[in-house]
Structure 1
Amino acid sequence: MNVVVEVVDLKKKFGSIEALKGISFEIEKGEIFGLIGPNGAGKTTTLRIISTLLKPDSGTVRVFGYDVEKEPQEIRKLISYLPEEAGAYRELTGLGYLKFVARFFAKNDNEFERMIEDGIQIANLKDRLRSKVATYSKGMTRRLLIARTLMVKPKLAILDEPTSGLDVLNAREVRLIIKRFVEGGGTVLLSSHNMLEVESLCDRIALISNGEIVEAGKPEELKKKYSASNIEEVFAEVVRCSGTC
């Protein structure tokens, strides 16, 4: 199966607000797919529906062939979701937190030990793993959370603004972690409002604005199509031309 996620005419309203107005896209196995747009565009709503945390109003979403409404438990076995505002238990050490999470996912002692080793390597916090999470910087906490998300070896990792608020060095480290995960056979769906960053990270992207996909494709192809030097310029041109060009 090459298609990991299939979204068709997905709609979602919150009261009178149309968060999603019928979006469609596919994610293929082994790629980093970016859902890019400004705050409030519908990125997080989309990720939460794919993660089975929200129900769609209409449309269909399938993850590895499973329907998000009819077979959510099957999907949850295959994915791992990191929300933008996720946190870790502050009174645990970093290592203690990884062990706490691993106990929920590991089927046996060998798998538990493997998860912990992977988590340690991914977080790369060295001796600070023995310090309480309460003493961590935002960048350290984010790397711990990325480790928690990926150490369970999901087939699909869903990451909401994975580098939000991080400095240049920590953001670069998180991007390298994501790339290594995909090189190891994983697939990633991530959202971001940082178009320039995601341009260099993603194999394909979908630009979302006001609950609608306004353009999608490979970054280089989109830049060529719109004679743009970067994806921010593509987005600005697409939005400017919407309904008039």
Structure 2
Amino acid sequence: MDNNSAEKVLEVKGLSKQYKKGVYASEKVTFDVNKGEIFALIGPNGAGKTTTIRMISTLLQATEGDAVVAGHSILTEPEKVRKNITYLPDEAGAYKNMTGKAYLKFMAELYADTKAEVDEYVQRGCEICELGERLNDKIATYSRGMQRKLLLARAIMSKPALAILDEPTSGLDIINALEIRRMIKKLASEGMSFLLSSHNMLEIEYVSDRVGIIAKGHLLETGKPSELLEKYGTKNLEEVFERVVTDNEIL
């Protein structure tokens, strides 16, 4: 994808969150996400990944800078931003006394404007999660992997311009994590854009088109995984991260 000519779904411009004078959780972060692209912010816990995506999601107010989602500023048009995104936090849960299908319908009714739209969202959600007959069972009987698939389906069944996922496969076993990654890649191939946050750099190396390396609130490097491996002469993104933060004396 040509990043210069591609349609920008997200443009982050010098985004900062200062909690007290001189203490930034995120400082002057700048990057963009193209249509149909999977962009990941990678770094250790406490690096500023979640703070950054919560500002983009309009859940946290930025101290400085701006972000534009599908042409709308998070500062001046937060309601329009929220109509174009979906945000799935790491700690998200579902109503366990509901069946999977009832949960999808309940959530669809919150976002859809018509009954026809509700039906469309539910049908799409059922197809995305691939839980089959288990959708008729209560969520309390689901494994963590099944719950995560249901939550991901809920997050993207409305076909948002940008899906923001915080640690999308956290706590999942290898098989379930692979299935979630394949779902994300398939949806991106159909034109949906993704912003992921993860500390699992090996996973992100597999799923992402481009990555941004963040540490102590600073975005230090961006690029395609293959380009970064070549640039730093390393075998994986963990080693790239080590080189980048060492070179920038962040650790």
Alignment TM-score, normalising by the size of structure 1: 0.96
Q: Which residue of 2 aligns with 1:64?
A: 70
Say which SS state the counterpart of residue 154 (structure 1) adopts. coil
Between 1:2-11 and 1:141-150, the stretch displaced more is 2-11
What's the RMSD between the two structures over aligned residues?
A: 1.4
Give the counterpart letter for 1:19 in structure 2.
A
Between 1:51-60 and 1:107-116, the stretch displaced more is 107-116
- Look up the match of 2:41: 35
Deviation of the 1:15 alpha carbon:
3.8
Identity of aligned residues (%): 50
Aligned to 1:127: 133
Comparing 111-120 with 37-46, greater Cα deviation is found at: 111-120
| 1:26 pairs with 2:14 | no
Q: Could you tell me how far apart the structure 2 residues matched to 1:243 and 1:236 are?
A: 10
Listed one character per residue, the Cα deviations across residues 181-240 of structure 1 (whole Å, up to 9, x for unaligned) are: 112211111111000110111111000000001111011000000001111110011111
Q: Deviations over 1:36-75 (max 9, x none)?
A: 1111101111111111111100112111221101100111
1:153 aligns with 2:159: yes
Instruction: Give a deviation string over 1:75-115, Cα, whole Å, max 9, x none.
Output: 11111110110010111111110010111122222222111
In the alignment, which of 49, 60, 67 is matched to residue 54 of structure 1? 60
Q: Unaligned stretches of 5+ in structure 1?
A: none
* TM-score normalised by L of structure 2: 0.94
SS of 2:92's equivalent? coil
- Alignment partners' CA distance in 2, 1:213 and 1:39: 14
Tell me, yes or no, if structure 1 residue 136 matches structure 2 residue 142.
yes
Q: Deviations over 1:14-41 (max 9, x none)?
A: 3464201211111111100001111110
CA-to-aligned-CA distance 1:103-147 (integer Å, 9 cap, x gap): 112222222211111111111112221111112111111000000
Name 1:3's counterpart in structure 2.
Answer: 8
Give the counterpart letter for 2:7 in structure 1. Answer: N
In the alignment, the residues of structure 1 paired with residue 143 and residue 20 of structure 2 have an alpha-carbon distance, to the nearest angstrom, of: 37
Other-structure match for 1:185: 191
Cα displacement string for residues 141-185 of structure 1 (whole angstroms, at most 9, x for unaligned residues)? 100000001111111111110000000010011011111111221
What is the count of residue pairs matched by the alignment? 244
The equivalent residue for 2:18 is 13
Q: Distance in 2 between matches of 1:23 and 1:73?
A: 22
1:170 matched residue in structure 2: 176
Post-superposition offset of 1:243: 4.3
The aligned counterpart of 1:209 is: 215
| Cα distance in structure 2, aligned partners of 1:104 and 1:28 | 28
**d(CA) in 2 for partners of 1:77 and 1:122?**
20
Aligned with 2:202: secondary structure? helix
2:3 is aligned to none
Q: 1:196 corresponds to which residue? A: 202
State the one-letter code of the partner of 2:10. V
Separation of aligned partners in 1, 2:152 and 2:102: 15
Alignment of 1:219-234 (within 5 A): 219-234=225-240
Instruction: Supply the distance in 2 between the matched residues of 1:31 and 1:208 (Cα, whole angstroms).
Output: 19
**Which aligned segments of 4 or more residues in structure 1 are displaced greater than 3 angstroms?**
none
Question: Of 93, 101, 108, which aligns to 1:102?
Answer: 108
Q: Give the secondary structure class of the aligned counterpart of 1:21.
A: strand
Cα distance between partner residues in 2 of 1:22 and 1:106:
35
- Give the Cα separation in 1 of the matches to 2:248 and 2:188: 34
Partner of 2:164, secondary structure, is strand
